[in-house]
């Protein structure tokens, strides 16, 4: 098998070093991991990883200014695609963050903020630390990962997809929220697999070996 290229999208937000190191570790000699903001390099890659953190409005501004928003839409038509944290949220239509932000609109749904209180108990926002991801249905990226495995989260907002069949993973934090979605060659997860020990590395390894079919 020819050595493949995995493009990690760099739109100028967040520390991507841990993402790169984790992908290089699990890929070994199978793939070349390329950090890039060049739309042509992203378009030519075999696989796409869209990581990220930060505010939705800043993210969208950066994507549009570099024309990465267009190449993301194009690559989602055919190539294995992994969205991480903001790389999940930005796929939705609209976010409550920054007094309302229009997102890529690739998947119908919104991004909502965690409530400050739940059943008279105050929630700490952001949701930060280890929590379970419960698998709603099987998916190749969950191979060899136990249902309910712990992953590392840092976020104040969560996605609410209009189509419930998109949800493949859920997590409890005051509310029961969608923490992983999948459709065809797309998989996106709210947590940070690169910071999630064995389960996270296994998910990244599964992505490297995934043929893009669910």
The yes-or-no answer on residue 191 being catalytic is no
Catalytic residue among 127, 139, 155, 192: 192
User: How many CB atoms are located within 10 Å of the residue 49 CB?
Assistant: 26
Whether residue 33 contacts residue 27, with contact meaning beta carbons closer than 8 Å, is answered with yes
Distance of alpha carbon 44 from its chain centroid, rounded?
Answer: 20
| Buried residues in 3-13 as b, exposed as e (16+ CB within 10 A) | eebbbbbbbeb
User: Would you call 192 a catalytic residue per the annotation?
Assistant: yes
Q: Please state, in angstroms and rounded to a whole number, the distance separating the CA atoms of residues 212 and 161.
A: 21
Residue among 59, 85, 97, 155 flagged as catalytic: 85
To the query of whether residue 25 is one of the catalytic residues in this protein, the response is no
**Residue 54 vs residues 40, 51, 127, 134, 160: alpha-carbon distances, Å:** 25, 11, 14, 25, 19
Q: Which of 59, 139, 155, 194 is catalytic?
A: 194
CA distance 23 to 51: 12
**Catalytic amino acids?**
85, 192, 194
């Amino acid at each position: 098998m020819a050595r493949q290229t995995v493009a990690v999208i760099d739109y100028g937000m967040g520390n991507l070093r841990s993402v790169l190191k984790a992908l290089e570790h699990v890929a070994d000699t199978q793939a070349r991991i390329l950090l890039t903001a060049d739309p042509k390099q992203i378009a030519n890659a075999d696989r796409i990883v869209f990581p990220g953190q930060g505010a939705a409005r800043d993210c969208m501004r950066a994507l549009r200014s570099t024309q990465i928003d267009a190449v993301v839409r194009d690559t989602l038509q055919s190539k294995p695609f992994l969205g991480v944290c903001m790389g999940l949220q930005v796929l939705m239509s609209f976010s409550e963050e920054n007094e309302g932000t229009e997102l890529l609109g690739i998947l119908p749904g919104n991004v909502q903020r965690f409530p400050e209180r739940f059943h008279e108990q105050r929630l700490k926002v952001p949701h930060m630390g280890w929590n379970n991801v419960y698998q709603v249905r099987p998916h190749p990226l969950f191979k060899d990962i136990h249902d309910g495995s712990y992953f590392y989260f840092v976020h104040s907002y969560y996605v609410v997809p209009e189509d419930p069949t998109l949800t493949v993973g859920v997590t409890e934090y005051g509310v029961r929220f969608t923490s992983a979605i999948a459709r065809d060659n797309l998989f996106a997860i709210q947590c940070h697999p690169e910071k999630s020990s064995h389960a996270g590395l296994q998910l990244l390894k599964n992505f490297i070996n995934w043929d893009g079919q669910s």
